[in-house]
Amino acid sequence: MCEAARPDDLLQWYDRHARSMPWRVGPDQRAAGIWPDPYRVWLSEVMLQQTTVATVKSYFERFISRWPDVTALAAAQDGDVMGEWAGLGYYARARNLLKCARVVADQHNGAFPNTRAALLELPGIGPYTAAAISAIAFDRIETVVDGNVERVMARLHDIHTPLPTAKPELTQAAATLTPRKRPGDYAQAVMDLGATICTPKSPACGICPWRNPCRARIAGTQADLPRKLPKQAKPTRHGIAYVVQRQDGAWLLERRPDKGLLGGMLGWPGSDWSEAPQPAPPLAANWITLPEEARHTFTHFHLRLQVAVAQVDCTINPETGDFVPHHRFKPSELPTVMRKVFDLAHGAFDKID
């Protein structure tokens, strides 16, 4: 019979090996009485959903530099925030980010609630994010379970039930270990353990603070866990993106509806995305279809976009969208799939008579 896992062993490891992150208050700072800023914790947790730490760091630092607190973010223009978010994906998060900031600023005097129940009432905050903010920012006793924690728990307890079916079982296993003291540090410690030692491939069991109580290590099954149900093949959708440049250098862009994929983001006018998209040019022009497609993968499907380009004179009036002057157009503010379209189209205009 293996020994029981002890939270104290993990916290001692965390005190020595905690990752340094721009939104984190480290264990030394916590010991000195410095508490995390709930705004930074919330912003980082929203950004980290479905996105890696390495990708998020630069976005987080830009957001904090431009909007240093929740009141500043609440007062921001929607387009400015969506532009800064471009490239992070899952754009509903950015829309909810603004909604949440405005509720906190208007209804909570700029202070985040400190309980999981109250946090759940805010726009865009679900069970995981509420638990994470409550634990990390306010040291509430909450069980925080992300993908790293699921992997650690599956191996620690040798749980072979496949994900996502195993989520309740893994959450319960994690809850039994959540300590009354330093629950915020503990939550981050388990995530750090999964990110740096109990990694998806080739876990470094020899230096793990929980190597002795780890049942999967004892059974030799750690490399097989967590098990996952087979993924269904993603369908492929097709579409047409229309890139128009006016003779004065302006670009024709449209802002997508708030609801739906890429909601609220600037992009090129285009057709529907389906198996057989219907052409939908935003104006009459001599369209040239490029030989290459813009390809992108979303969570639930692959997308292949034909790119049609045209150059028009300054008297033209589009049926959809607005012309953005060349000096105000920033490709970096486009979502990734729209930047891919631009990269293909940009060079084509040099060849248009």
Q: Which residues are catalytic, by number?
A: 45
Whole-number Å distance between alpha carbons of 43 and 115: 17
> Which pairs count as long-range contacts for 199-202, CB under 8 Å and 24+ apart, including other chains?
200/151
Buried b (16+ CB within 10 A) or exposed e, 112-149: bbeebeebeebebbeebbbbbbbbbbbbbebbbbbebb
Q: Of 258, 236, 239, nearest to 340 (Cα)?
A: 239
Strand, helix or coil for residue 326:
helix
The continuous run of DSSP H or E covering 115 comes out as none
φ and ψ of 324, to 5 deg: -105, 125
How many helices (H) and strands (E) would you count in the chain? 14, 7
Bond prior to 226 in cis (omega within 30° of 0): yes
Whole-number Å distance between alpha carbons of 104 and 86: 24
Whole-number Å distance between alpha carbons of 262 and 335: 7
* Residue written as token pair 């503010």: 333
Torsion angle (degrees, nearest 10) of CA 33, 38, 42, 48: -20
Cβ(69)–Cβ(110) below 8 Å: yes
CA distances from 281 to 84, 138, 310, 329, 350 (A): 28, 52, 10, 21, 21
Question: Which residues have a Cβ under 8 Å from the Cβ of 68 and sit 6 or more positions away?
Answer: none
